[in-house]
Amino acid sequence: GIIHHRGEIELSDKSIKSMKRKEIAGKIALMRQINHVHFPYTVYETVMMGRYRFLRQNLFGKPTQEDMRVVEETMESTNLMELKNKHLNTLSGGQLQRVYLAHTLVQEPELILLDEPTNHMDIKYQIDVVTYLKKWAVKENHAVVGVFHDINLAMELTENLLFMKDGKIHGMGKANELITSDFLMKIYDMDIVSYMTKSLSRWQDFKKE
């Protein structure tokens, strides 16, 4: 059934209940895991669609010089320019997620919400996306709130963690103050620290060329 909840959500010390949907949309962007591509748009077209709230302010809804500048600079920084004219249905999962990362960034939000954005991605692309978002948050002095099942990726993004299980908060705070072997055992029902340590020891056996 539905889990009962209560409370209030504030954005910049202002309750979202008092904000218009357009105002909220101008401050928050959502980046989720991508499973399907329904339309064969090009990479450039898809990223430009992220400028929707700006485009609709124009008389004819056409991109301005500013829209094109933001889109191209974002595509450059996310290494997408060489894929500019490629269609989405020809891209790999990692490439596709970079497209949607750029699509999210050109919205110029103050807060980005992540819904397991690195699912089904190779390790390199997982790290690339998380690293880019971390740099973006620091550079722009904005915030990123993400849902992850992978604790390593979560700690790669931030030191501030919130652990949930069965719809309840079981812990919140800085990783180095919050995480202990016993705490993780309660959350994951297994000895995570021993598992991670054992996994690391396997990798340490490999020699660097």
The domain locations on the chain are 29-158, 176-209
Tell me the average pLDDT across 162-191. 92
pLDDT at 68: 95
Q: What pLDDT, in 10s, does the model give residues 60-117?
A: 668 999 999 999 999 999 999 999 999 999 998 888 889 999 999 999 999 999 998 8
| CATH level 3 topology of 29-158 | Rossmann fold (3.40.50)
Q: Pick the closest to residue 30 from 88, 104, 124, 107 (CA basis).
A: 104
Half-sphere exposure (CA, 13 Å, Cβ side) for 37?
18
Burial of 157 (0-12, 13-18, 19+ CB in 10 A): buried
Distance of CA 197 to the CA centre of its chain: 27
Q: Pick the closest to residue 120 from 92, 155, 158, 144 (CA basis).
A: 92
Overall pTM > 0.95: no
Is residue 174 left, alpha or beta, with left meaning phi > 0 and alpha meaning psi from -120 to 50? beta
pLDDT at 49: 92
Three-class DSSP category at 111: strand
Contacts 24+ apart (CB under 8 A), 88-93: 88/37, 88/39, 88/40, 88/41, 88/42, 88/43, 88/46, 89/37, 89/40, 91/43, 93/34, 93/120, 93/121, 93/122, 93/125
The CA distance from 118 to 127, in Å, is 9
pLDDT at 199: 86
